[in-house]
Amino acid sequence: MKNKKNTTTEVVVVEVINNEVKKLGRPVNGSSKRQQRIAELEAKRAAGVCKRGRPTVAGSKRQETLAKRADKVANGGELKRGRPVNMNSKRQVELAAKAAKAVETAK
């Protein structure tokens, strides 16, 4: 049996004096560039204008493809996933023969 390291859990105690919570750790400088950027992002999130990720191009080929897929789904069409299989390829013919042989030997 391998030796297991003893793990201990550390409990952080926050002192409450006169209904005031004493914060532990490094103080936050509200006028720092990082804190200003964080505040700006929070304001954008609250307003619903925070844009994340790469912007989309309206007339791109990808957007046309996505629109066609959405139309297909809306009209009840079936979406195929992955690369189509050529059932007449050499490999698929061999696999079909193996499957038929396996079925025959199982009987």
Q: pLDDT by residue (tens digit) across 44-70?
A: 999 988 888 888 899 999 999 999 999
Rounded Cα distance, 20 and 11, in Å = 20
Mapped onto helix, strand or coil, the DSSP state of residue 78 is coil
Task: Show the tokens assigned to 61.
Answer: 């080929």
Summarize the confidence of residues 65-91 as an average pLDDT: 91
Dist CA 94 CA 91 (whole Å): 5
Q: In the prediction, which pLDDT does 64 show?
A: 95
pLDDT of residue 86: 95
Who's near 37: CB < 8 A, 6+ residues apart? none
DSSP 94-106: HHHHHHHHHHHHH
Which band of pLDDT confidence, cut at 50, 70 and 90, is reported for residue 23? confident
Question: What are φ and ψ of residue 11, in 5° steps?
Answer: -105, 125
pLDDT band with cut points at 50, 70 and 90 for residue 3: low
81 band by pLDDT with thresholds 50, 70 and 90: confident
In angstroms, the CA 56 to CA 76 distance is 26
pLDDT category of residue 1 using cuts at 50, 70 and 90? low
* Structure confidence at residue 6 (pLDDT): 65
pLDDT computed for residue 67 by the predictor: 94
Report whether pLDDT(11) > 70: no
* pTM beyond 0.75: no
Check if the beta carbon of residue 34 is closer than 8 Å to that of residue 46: no
The full length of the chain comes to: 107
